[in-house]
Amino acid sequence: MLEVGRITKAHGLRGEVIVSLVTDRLERLEHGSVLRSGDRTLEVEASRPHQKHFIVSFVGVLSREEAEALQGSTLQAEPLDDPEELWVHEVIGAPVQSVDGSEVGVVDAVQANPASDLLVLDSGALVPVRFVVERRDDGTVVIDPPEGLFDL
């Protein structure tokens, strides 16, 4: 299960909550989407943007008291099957090669960055995710870095 957001607070009197997403995949809040919060399953009834967050109603959550009980909950969902996406849990530990075939390192972590998330390599190098051009079937991440990225 992947974290997709957090319920920050109740909104109004009819069981709606404010959700702060940690994903750019807005389909996670479409009608009928199923999310997990601890051992509870929540089905999205409706959602709409609100400032930088979303107002969400879940099936069966009908009062402010029920919504307040969800406050602070982490929302999780199964990974989406999208071959074009790089998932953090899939790239940690992956070998990294440049397009010319040279070994660059191994991914230790992925660091959030406003311009572009960064692959943190075991060498300490930081590689913007936008330079990733392929993820091979064997798990290798192929990058096309600009000249000088790995120069000290």
CA-wise closest residue to 8 among 50, 59, 60 = 50
Using only C-alpha atoms, the chain has a radius of gyration, in whole angstroms, of: 19
Give pLDDT tens digits for 48-91: 999 999 999 999 999 999 999 999 999 999 877 766 667 777 88
Q: Check: CB of residue 84 under 8 Å from CB of residue 24.
A: no
Distance CA 63, CA 23 (A): 27
CATH class of 2-77: mainly beta
Cβ-proximal residues to 40 (8 Å cutoff; 6+ apart), any chain: none
Q: Does residue 152 register a pLDDT over 70?
A: no
Domain coordinates of the chain in residue numbers? 2-77, 88-143
Q: How far is the CA of 87 from the CAs of 1, 82, 98, 123, in angstroms?
A: 12, 10, 19, 21
Distance CA 51, CA 30 (A): 18
Q: Which two tokens stand for residue 128?
A: 């913007």
Give pLDDT tens digits for 96-114: 999 998 898 999 999 988 8
Cβ-proximal residues to 90 (8 Å cutoff; 6+ apart), any chain: 135, 139
Q: Are strands 95-98 and 141-143 parallel, antiparallel or unpaired?
A: parallel
Q: Does residue 9 register a pLDDT over 90?
A: yes
Q: Which CATH superfamily is domain 88-143 in?
A: PRC-barrel domain (2.30.30.240)
